[in-house]
Structure 1
Amino acid sequence: MTSTLSETLTLLLIEDDDGDAYLVEELLRQAEAPPKITWVRSLREARARLTGEIQCVLVDLSLPDASGLEALREVLALAPHAAVLVLTGLRDAHVGVAAVQAGAQDYLVKQDVDARLLARAIRYAMERKRADLAHVRLVEAELTAKENARLESGLLPVAMLRTDAIEHATRYLPGSQGSLLAGDFLDTVQTADGAVHVVVGDVCGHGPDEAALGVALRIAWRTLVLAGRTGEPMLRTLDTLLRAERDAPEIFTTLCTVTIAPDLRRATLRVVGHPPPVLVRDGVVEAVGGAPSGPPLGIFHDAAWPAIDVPLGEEWAMLLYTDGLIEAVVGEGDRQLGVEGLVGLVRAHGGVDLDRLISHVGTLTDDLAAVLLRRRPA
């Protein structure tokens, strides 16, 4: 009866006994697709032949230059991606068990081997090795994902906000790319004079480089604000930093900064090539600063970003966000929400509820960073 070894394999046989080696070769010739066999008599010869092409290794652990588990460990180290099948004698069956515990996929007693058993053992060893490698990759991926999540969560800011007169909420959500941290960034800082400063920005592109650049810009923004450097001087410094840190000249950044006066009744905006904030004030919902103050950072060296002054009054809510929100597809087809659609949703909901708003727009195709500020009368 022929064996069931049906795929052509590249196999290395490490066996110093000519008779045993001949027996293995004869048995494997009966397979449906006889493997390509390379036979060596020692571990020294095996070192030169254990290349990436070898898919399975049959090894006798009684070799002239190494024996027992010492020989097995070297084979496993030399061929980490190959299945390893140990050949033992009747009196050494316990060695085969120890070999499996040490990392071999299986063992065979030479005196009990026939063509069918040998072919099946090789096939099963290959499948076990594939499963072992897949499990290792899965564990490594899970560990990497956990470490990345810890790192990325640590890079998200904690708002420096002392007043209780303003409700503050943020959301940072990945789009279809699935990473926790992208080029979007946000931050909120209250300075010693009582003014509240907010930024939401978006570095164009996706990936770790853009995420790192977004974090650098966010930290620079916070440092500049705390140092009292706001307005256009701050934006020019961020523009200089962006040009120094970006990987390519076509990388640009949009952002919106808001400074709320200490009395919380008025705000100053600078909309830097970014979607305008949505303001709810006296029952009216609108996008403020509809025309950007100026172009994105990183495009023009002589750009200017004039301030937009906005009266707020006693009771108001303001939503700053990145374009992941307005580029979300809503309803049937591929229609995007857009700024007008966002204003309509807020109006229909009777105010800004971040979770309800995000759940309504459905699947995000781009990353989203959002900051909601709300003031209610005392």
Structure 2
Amino acid sequence: MTMKWMEQELQSLAGEALERKLRDSAPVSGRPGYILRDGQELLNLSSNDYLGLAQHPAIIEAMRTALLTEGAGSGASRLVTGNRTPYRELEDALADWQQCGAALVAANGYMANTGVISALVGRGDVVFSDRLNHASIVDGVALSRAEHARYRHNDMEHLRHLLHKHRGARRKLIVTDTIFSMDGDQALLHELVQLKGQHGAMLMVDEAHSGGIYGGNGEGLCHSLGIHSDIDIHMGTFSKAFGLYGAYVCGSETLVRWLVNRARPFIYSTALPPSILAGISQSLEIVRSESDRRRLLLAASRKFRTMLRDGGFQTSDGDSPIVPVIVGDNAAALRFSAELQEAGIAAVAIRPPTVPEGTARIRFSLSAVHTERELEQAASCIRSIGLKLGVLPL
């Protein structure tokens, strides 16, 4: 079979400034918040390492110790022989942290979302999903074969209409990000809880970009708003604020028992290595105890937004560490990113299909390790480049 069509399609993507390419990077020893790329040390404003834990020495030491005692890999899926003791210990700690009946660890957020959604619904069911939800949610609905009713972003009247339209569905599942990954704004969680109750639906939230950041002990946005007990399925990741890899699902004991029996990515995947579990457990202790990291991050996020607005940019409201600057044109977003790298800042251009057509952007992502001076200098540089490229009016 000829593969020439691939080259043609790739050329088309390149012509629309949509081709993606891998680029090597590495951490910079002794400089948290920086990466090394193309031989240059860059202020890293693209990482999801929100609390600056990816290089934490206590986490690294916990992983090293586990490697020496438990070995490199788990050897099998958890339902075969891969269910090591560290899984039980971590899941007990997660259930306690989230104040729920039980927890289940998954390989990553993508597999958690696709596994949970396809385990809960199928043909004859309907999933109601915000149009800006993460791709893993969209793919989970597709794999489930349930009908996908997408409501306009944070439009509760549209969701209400769709729930009424599909009132005869066998099962109804509402699913949403809590913090939307490309815009940094919050879901209307109080309203979603009300609609869930009125229409007999299940409610699932993805706290990937809010877990570790919000709540008294970093439990997430639902705890911060006092509605965690109203959430049926609570999913989050360890790959962002926790600085590691993996994901969790929390809920009732019945939910977790069901997922163990029906979530295909869980059943048919080799278990995470014990060293990863050890690192997660150590990171969870830090997340629960070191509230100053959250305070510094949220304060920096608010201030950075203010600095960009004072410089003439329009940014989303709130205090999440995700701060997008909309450029619009794909090629212009790539030029903006390249100019930022020349100036010593790593900030990636985000283009369709990750975001809607005409909304290409630079997605700035902050960390608790960024200093006020670093962010002030970055904001000034961003404004200068915006003026140079015509993104801002002179």
- Asked which structure has the greater CA Rg, the reply is 1
Please report the TM-score for the alignment, with normalisation by the length of structure 1: 0.18
Whichever structure has more helix as a proportion of its residues is: 2
The higher relative CO (CA closer than 8 Å, separation ≥ 6) is in 2
